[in-house]
Amino acid sequence: MNVMINDISKDLDTTVKGVQTAITLFLLIMAILMIPGSKLTDRWGRKRCFVGGLILYGIGAVLSAAAPNLGVLILGNSVFEGVGTALLIPPVYILTTLAFDDLTSRAKAFGTIMGAAGLGAAAGPLIGGLLTTGISWRAAFVFQALVVLTIILLSRRSVVDPLPADPDRPFDTVGAVLSGVGLFFLVFAILQIGTHNALAAVCAVIGAVFLLAFFVYIRRRERAGKDVLLSTGLFKNRTSDLALVTQLTQWLMLMGISFVVAVYLQTVRGYSAIETGVIFTAATVGVLLSSLGAERFAKRRAQRTLILAGFVGTLAGIVLLIVIVRAWSNVLAFVPGLFLIGVGLGIMLTPSVNVVQSSFPEKQQGEISGLSRSISNLGSSLGTAIAGTILVSAVATGNRSYLWAMVSLAVAGGIGLVAAWFIPTDAGGPSVGDDQLQPD
């Protein structure tokens, strides 16, 4: 979507702000529904949710490909694909956790998944740019639908659910509504800053009220011994809390940087979709190289060390994107920064997930998996909303708006770095091959 901004805007007679809204709503809907989606895996079964989510995503891709206007694009890309993703992602992490018992094999499995996720996020711009320039931006959504269909066919035999579905499992509908409405209005408020400040303030207040009502509601239900959407006990684990902060800031930076750089290249530098996609190849290479070494890193270094190293590398990449890009107009100015960002994110995405998942017993894996993915997607939507709003609200100023957008992402990265610093050294279990971490 990021590299298609100009093409979509012209074809659907909309603006950069309109496309930003579609992207942010997609990420936000994922964040809102990820926890309810994880709860439904117990009720409906993990494989059924996985396949059902893929079907919804495929429908959304087809709708997006045929969209005559922004409204239909939002329905297909933001709503159908967002809901579909919220259903299919939790089963991936739950099934992986259930399939691997020891730290090393689980770290390898999560490394593969997170490496694929990071590589997909980084390679998406190149694939999207090739299809958009060579055929049409609509072809990119047709491509998505074909990929989804392939996965559905392959999953018929290869995906096995080790646990039976529990149709009688209670579901907290009121909690899902309260939390969803609260998160929606908070992020929507950010999108309105700079254009409708009064509306932004009202939406922020509404969001805060609904989230407060949500926490009061679940506390009362917990005291009454009833099942809740999200147990407050999950937030009493300090190690997990810190790792969740790192997850939020990692995806905030990844999606924020992707959106800011893509918009800047197309609206200020005037690059095409394919040119923008090619530039992002530097990040793709960085993610690929660091992901390939994920298993080796996990054996030699503590999870905390890897997360810290990832944040340092990503922040260094942001600094390069600010300094070199402002001083040098050549397209190669983006390469060093994007490469470092790709390496940094590839190093730390897996350890953060592993620390969170390993902090809880098997019976809570469904709940913590949903929370973990929700936090990550909330970070993604905040990254696009915050940095994108700063950039889009003053896009005519060119370098200045780009500078402030990147600075906001660096601040978020600093927060993540501080959180990572306080993660215990032995979080996620002892690292294999690290003599200093072996038990006495």
Tens digits of residue pLDDT in 301-314: 777 888 888 899 99
Q: Which pTM was predicted?
A: 0.73
Domain ranges of the chain: 2-172+229-427, 173-228
**pLDDT score for 437:** 34
Q: Taking all residues of the chain, what is their mean pLDDT, rounded to a whole number? A: 79
What is the mean predicted confidence (pLDDT) over 12-27?
82
Mean pLDDT on 318-336: 79
User: What is the fold of 2-172+229-427?
Assistant: Growth Hormone; Chain: A; (1.20.1250)
Q: Give pLDDT, residue 63.
A: 93
435 band by pLDDT with thresholds 50, 70 and 90: very low
- Between 9-18, 28-37, 50-59, the lowest mean confidence (pLDDT) is in 28-37
- Are residues 267 and 396 in contact, defined by beta-carbon separation less than 8 angstroms? no
Q: How sure is the predictor about 24, in pLDDT bands with cuts at 50, 70 and 90?
A: confident
Instruction: Please classify residue 252 by burial: count the beta carbons closer than 10 Å to its beta carbon, then call 0-12 exposed, 13-18 middle and 19+ buried.
Output: buried
158, with CB counted inside 10 A (0-12, 13-18, 19+), is exposed
| Helix residue ranges per DSSP H, 328-357 | 335-357
Cβ distance 184 to 28 under 8 Å? yes
Residue 428 pLDDT: 58
Res. 275: pLDDT tops 60: yes
Instruction: State the amino acid at position 427 in one-letter form.
Output: A
**Average confidence (pLDDT) over 330-352:** 82
pLDDT of residue 396: 45
What are 60-84's pLDDT values in tens digits? 999 999 999 988 999 998 899 989 9
Position 65 scores a pLDDT of: 92
The proportion of the chain whose per-residue pLDDT surpasses 70, expressed as a percent, equals 85
Please check the confidence at residue 110 and state whether its pLDDT lies above 90.
no
CA distance 294 to 308: 14
Comparison of pLDDT for 47 and 436, the residue scoring more:
47
Q: What Cα–Cα distance (Å) separates residue 203 from each residue in 37, 193, 421?
A: 25, 11, 34
Amino acid 76: pLDDT: 92
